[in-house]
Every structure is written in structure tokens, then in C-alpha cells.
Amino acid sequence: MRHINVLILSTFMLFSLVAYAQHDTHEHEPETTHEDTSAHDHLQIPEHAEDIHGAAHEEKAFNASEMIMHHVLDNHDWHITDIPSGKDAQGHTTYTPIALRLPWIFYSSRDGFVFSSTHDLDAKNYLVYHDHVYALKAGAVRPHADAHGAIHLEKEEWEAYKAENVDASVTLLDFSITKTSFQILIIAALMLWVFLSIARSYKKNTGAPKGTASLFEPIIVFVRDEIAKPYLGDKAMRFTPYLLTLFFFIWFSNLLGLTPLNSNIAGNISITAALALLTFIIINVNGSKDYWVHIFANPGVPPALRYSLMLIVEVVGVFTKPFALMIRLFANISAGHFMVLSLVSILFILGKGGKSIGGALGAMPISLLFTFGIYFLEFVVAIIQAYIFTLLTAVFVGMAMESHDHEHAHEHAHAEGDHH
Amino acid sequence: METIGIMGAGIGAGLAVIGAGLGIGRLAASSVESIARQPEAAGDIRGAMILTAAFIEGVALLAEVVCLLIVFTK
């Protein structure tokens, strides 16, 4: 056991040493102005890292919060890494990005539906800046771009450019398959593959489950018996498919978000908002008569309060439940990713972006151990958050469906607290 | 002013964590006591505990998100 621990630890040390060594090479560059961007390149910031910073000619030290934001936010290309490809005229190391360019698909009131690569957008007189697409006026001058196509403008410069050259009358609706939506498709494909193969194996095999089916059967039964049945009673089977879909979608997306080369989609508030919206619809479509009476004419309070204060409280309550679901999942998953990325950043902050090897060596054990700890905690959080989202959905739907002659269920609803 | 705003976000995040910590701590303490008193009800108690912990955590996370927004929109 001890040997395994040592092995794992040294492997991680080796990785960060390799990472650090690559980083260190920039130190010997004749000019240090590009130091910052090299640090970013190295941490898998794409070639347009400078365009996130705004200005390339005013480089600062390694900026952890920008690195973290870049990793967490959605993007139009699936960036994997950069490989050094040689030196340019000034002796700077140049990088070739390895990235999957996702297409731009948007509706423009000027050209109708546009389906295009980033490169071809130039010919159609559109400009991509900070991962947003802008329609340019006819004959507009394009801003100067570097070898990677990144545009370096100060905020004021960009505002001035925008006022002069961007055609504000063109409406653009962006439907592009971004990193996040591509990740959804991957998860959907994975879930279809897993669950169709389970369904097939049950069709063929009437005995004990085998293979994938035996791996997932306990979890499926857990969702049905521990989440759906206690809160939804005899209507449980109607909602089990939805609950199972929620549970596995959130769990799979969290797990994939923790593996390299994937993006974490539950850390994107639009995804959790969509999931919460589905729950919101299901709660309100299945609301019983008592549920609506309780909201608009709560029989438990005097009439003066019933139609004034309680009405507001109850109506707000209808929206806070899915809103809390949305915030909870989003904040939990983003917090984990922020933590991991911040702890990795310690290495680069104390290493002074390649200038202080001692600082980096000192930071390495802290950075490694904490990252390791948080990372494994995140695997637990992945399944707990899937469980809680599913459980609360079942609880809320159950509360909305109950009729108030059902004594036990009523007590339960009161125990939940946040709504009566 | 901006610096004070960011400091406020930091203090707010700390206060939210104190609140959530107290809440979940009390919850865990009384759940463990109840389980010790009535081990046969451990399953039910654990279920109720996780559910309530999720509510407490939800409120705390709301505060944390507000703090994050202050930092990012400064």
C-alpha cells in the first residue's frame, strides 16, 4: 500500500516537474514581454490567450483568475493543448494549437442562416472578437491580428472600433455548437450507448444481470426505491424515467467534467437552468388542486393576509424552488473546478511564471496534495449533487401532487420547511 | 471603492461559510445523536439529514454566488 502511495505521488511530482521544465524554457528567451502568454499557453490557454487579456504589449505576471475563467467558460473551439513549433524572428517560441474548431452557426438578419468556420467568417464580413461574432459594415477595416488571428485591443480601442465599424442594425442569433453543447452531445451518445445496451441485455437475459447491466442495476434500483417511491408514492413509476435521466445526466456530466479533455457542463449556469426549468414544468403541470389553492388562497391564514402577503410569498416560492436547484448544482460544480484550478495556479504564482524555481519547488507539495484531495472530493460531490438534484425534484413534485387529506405527506411537506 | 467592494465580497463569503458551517454542524450533531439513540432508524435519519443539508447548503451557495458576482462585475 505504501509503495502505491509513493508511486502515485512521484508520478504527480514528475508531471508537474515536466510542466515546470517546459515552462522554464521561456525564461531564457531574450525578451520577456511574452512571458505571460507563454505561461498561459502552457496551461492550455489557447492561442488567443492575449485576446482575453486585452493587451499583449502590457504583459503582467501570470493571471490566475483569467486562466480559471477561461477554463470554466464556454468557447467556440475545443482547445486541447499547444505544442511548441519553433522560434519566430525575435526568438519567441511559437506554438501550434491543437484544437477542435467548432463551427459558427448563427442567424443574421443580413445573410440569413450562416454556417461557417471561424476562418471563413472573414470573407462574409463578420468579425470574431472575445468569442463573440459581430457583423461588420460594408468596407469596414478589420483590426490588426497577429499570426494566430488574435486581436489585441485595449477596451477603449475596441469600443471605438466597434462604434465605427460594427453594424449594430444586424441582429445576430448565435446557435453555434459550442464546447458545452458538443459535450452535451457526447454525454447523450454515452448515455444512449450505455442504457440501450443495458435494455438489450435485459431483453436477452432473464437471469441475473451481466456486464454493464449488473454495474448499473443497483443504482437504477436505488433511484427508484430510495428517491422515487418514498416521495411520489403510487405515482412513482410515472416519474422514475425522468428522475433516472436527471440522475445519470448530471452524474455523467460531472464525471466527464473531471476527466481530461472534457468540459464541465454542470458548471455552466445555462445547463443547470435548463434542468431546473424541466423540473419547474413538471412540478407545475402535475400540481394538484390543493397545490394551486395553497398558492392563491392559502386556507391556513386569515383572509387579509391570504390575498396580500401570503400570495406574494407563495408565488415567489413557486420560482425559488427550481432557482435553488439551479444555483446549487452550478455553484457546487464550479466551486470544485475553481478550487482545483486555483491550487494548480499556486505552482505558477509562487514560481513567478518561470523565474523562481525554488518557489515552484516549494509550492509543489502544497499544490499537489491539495489538488489531489480536492479532486477526489469532487468525485464524491459528482454523485452527491446528482443525488440531491434528483431527490429534491422528487420531493417537490411529490409536494405539488399531494392532496391534503393525506396526513403523512402533509407532515412531510412541513418538515421540508422552505415553502409553507 | 472597488477594493472595498472586493473586500466586502470576501467578508460576505466568509460570513456565509460561517452560517452554513454552524447550520450543517448542528444538523450533523443532532443526526448522529439520534442515530446513536435509535440505530434502527439510521436510514430515515440519514435521508432527512442529506435533504436538510442540501437546503442549508443551497442558501449558503446563493450567498457565495452573489459574492462571486461582486468580484467579477467590479
For chain B, domains (ranges, CATH) are 2-69 (1.20.20.10)
- pLDDT tens, residue by residue, A153-186: 788 888 888 888 888 888 888 888 888 999 999 9
SS3 B59: helix
Least CB-CB distance to A331: which of B50, B52, B61? B61
Chain B residues whose CB is inside 8 A of the A391 CB are 50-51, 54
Cβ–Cβ contact A327 with B under 8 A: yes
On whether the CB atoms of residues A279 and A259 are closer than 8 A, the answer is no
Asked whether A36 and A63 are in contact (CB, 8 A), the reply is: yes
Q: Which residues contact A410 (CB under 8 A, 6 or more apart)?
A: A402, A404
Could you tell me what percent of chain A has a pLDDT over 90? 28
pLDDT at B5 over 50: yes
The confidence score (pLDDT) of residue A61 equals 61
Q: Do B50 and A417 touch (CB under 8 A)?
A: no
Number of H helices, E strands in chain A: 16, 7
A256 touches chain B (CB under 8 A): no
Contact criterion met (CB below 8 Å) for A141 and A165: yes
- Which cell is A335 given? 466551486
**A&B contacts, CB < 8 Å:** 37
A126-135, A248-257, A340-349: which range is least confident on average? Answer: A126-135
Distance of CA A271 to the CA centre of its chain: 8
Shortest Cα distance, chain A CAs vs residue B9, angstroms: 15
Interface of B with A (CB under 8 A): 47-48, 50-52, 54-55, 57-58, 61-62, 64-65
Of A32, A41, A85, the closest CA to residue A61 belongs to A32
State which residue of chain B sits closest to A333, comparing Cα positions: B61
Question: Quick check: A391 contacting B, CB < 8 Å?
Answer: yes
Residues A394 and A387: their CA atoms lie apart, in Å, by 11
Residue in B51, B58, B65 nearest the CB of A391: B51
Nearest to A106 by CA among A169, A177, A165: A177
Q: Do A391 and B50 count as a contact with CB atoms less than 8 A apart?
A: yes
Distance (Å) from the alpha carbon of A330 to chain B's nearest alpha carbon: 9
Segment among A48-52, A294-298, B67-71 with least mean pLDDT: A48-52
User: What is the 8-class DSSP label of residue A228?
Assistant: I
What does DSSP say about strands A112-116 and A104-108: parallel, antiparallel, or unpaired? Answer: antiparallel
Query: What distance lies between CA A119 and its chain's CA centroid?
Result: 26
Task: Give the per-residue pLDDT at A309.
Answer: 86
A328·B54 Cβ contact <8 A:
yes
- Three-state DSSP at A177 gives coil
Q: Cβ(A363)–Cβ(A306) under 8 Å?
A: no
The C-alpha of A184 sits at a distance from chain B's nearest C-alpha, in angstroms, of 24
Give pLDDT, residue A274. 95
Given pLDDT bands bounded at 50, 70 and 90, which one contains residue A50?
Answer: very low
Q: How would residue A19 be classed by pLDDT, with cut points 50, 70 and 90?
A: very low
Confidence band, pLDDT 50/70/90 cuts, at residue A5: low
Q: Which residue has the cell 411520489?
A: A232
Helix (H) or strand (E) holding A362: helix A357-401
A230 inside 8 A of chain B by CB:
yes
| Chain B residues within an 8 Å CB radius of A327 | 58, 61-62, 65
pLDDT at A145 over 70: yes
**pLDDT digit string, tens, across residues A61-83:** 677 777 787 777 888 878 777 78
List, for residues A289-322, the tens digit of each pLDDT value.
989 988 888 888 888 888 888 888 889 989 999 9
Name the closest residue on chain A to residue B59, using Cα atoms: A324
Cell of B30: 443532532
Q: Which grid cell is A115? A: 454556417
Instruction: Give the pLDDT confidence score for residue B65 in this predicted structure.
Output: 85
List CB contacts (< 8 A) between A328 and chain B. Answer: 54, 57-58, 61
Contact B48 A415 (CB under 8 A): yes
- pLDDT band (50, 70, 90) for residue A407: very low
Of B50, B54, B65, the CB nearest to A331: B65
Contact B58 A330 (CB under 8 A): no
Element (H, E) at A86: strand A77-87
Residue A192, CB-side half-sphere exposure with 13 Å CA sphere: 6
3-state SS class at A55: coil
Mean pLDDT of A102-127: 83
**B61–A332 CB contact, under 8 Å:** yes
Distance CA A120, CA A294 (A): 57
The interface pTM score, or ipTM, of the predicted complex is: 0.81
Contact A328 B50 (CB under 8 A): no
- Among A327, A391, A392, the residue with its CB nearest the CB of B65 is A327
The burial class, CB within 10 Å (0-12 / 13-18 / 19+), for A195 is middle
- Report the chain A residue with the minimal C-alpha distance to residue B65: A331
CA–CA distance, A76 with A178 (Å, rounded to integer):
5
Tell me the C-alpha distance between A335 and A269, whole Å. 13
A420 contacts on B by Cβ (under 8 Å): none
The set of residues, in sequence order, having a beta carbon less than 8 Å from that of A294 and lying 6+ positions away, is A314, A420
The residue among B74, B72, B56 whose CA lies nearest residue B16 is B56
In a mutational test of the A interface, the residue from B34, B44, B65, B68 whose CB has the highest number of chain A CBs within 10 Å is B65
Query: Chain A residue with minimal CA distance to B64?
Result: A331
Residue scoring higher pLDDT (A164 or A222): A222
Interface check A414 vs B, CB under 8 A? no
Residues 6+ apart with CB under 8 A from B64: A331, A335, B13, B16, B17
pLDDT recorded at residue A6 = 52
The rounded Cα A307 to chain-centroid distance in angstroms is 41
